[in-house]
Amino acid sequence: MAAPNIVNVSSILGKSKGQAITTSLADVVTCASDKVLKVNAIYVANIDGTDNVEVDVGFYDASETTTFYIIKTMVVPADATIDVLSSSIYLEEGDKIQVLAGAASDAQIVVSYEELDDA
C-alpha cells in the first residue's frame, strides 16, 4: 500500500463532504489506501442563531498517530461561517480531517477535496 505519485495520476475526482459537528472528536474525511486527497477548503458554519460555538478542526497524521490542530477552540459567531484553510493540504493513506465542537448541533462542516488515484 502506497500513496500514488501525483505526477502519474490517472484520475482526479472532485468531492465534498458535509456533516453536523458533535462534542466528540469525529472523522470527516479519511484517505483510503492507494489514494492521495488534496483538501482544498474546509468551512465551518455556526447554525445556531443565538450562541457562539467553539470548534476544533484537526489533521490526523497516520504516520505519527497524532492529531495536529488546524484550529483549536476557535469561536464561530452565531449565524457565521469561517474558512479554515488558507491553502491546500494533502492527506496520505489513513490520514484524516477531524472535528469537534463545544456544543452539539450548533455547527456543521463542509470539506471540499480532490481524490487522486494512479490505478
Residue span of the structural domain in which 31 resides = 12-117
Is 58 part of a structural domain of the chain?
yes
Grid coordinates representing 106 are 450548533
What DSSP line would sit under 58-69, residue for residue? EEEETTTTEEEE
Residue 59 has pLDDT above 80, yes or no: yes
The predicted model gives 54-83 an average pLDDT of 98
Would residue 113 count as lying in a domain?
Answer: yes
pLDDT digits (tens, 9 = 90+) for 15-40: 999 999 999 999 999 999 989 999 99
Q: Is there a domain that residue 103 lies in?
A: yes
Residue 58's CATH number:
2.60.120
Q: How many domains does the chain have?
A: 1
Question: Which residue bears the cell 482526479?
Answer: 12
For residue 56, name the pLDDT band (cuts at 50, 70, 90).
very high
Q: What is the pLDDT of residue 8?
A: 85
Q: Has residue 2 been placed in a domain?
A: no
Q: 1 pLDDT exceeds 80?
A: no
In-domain check, residue 3: no
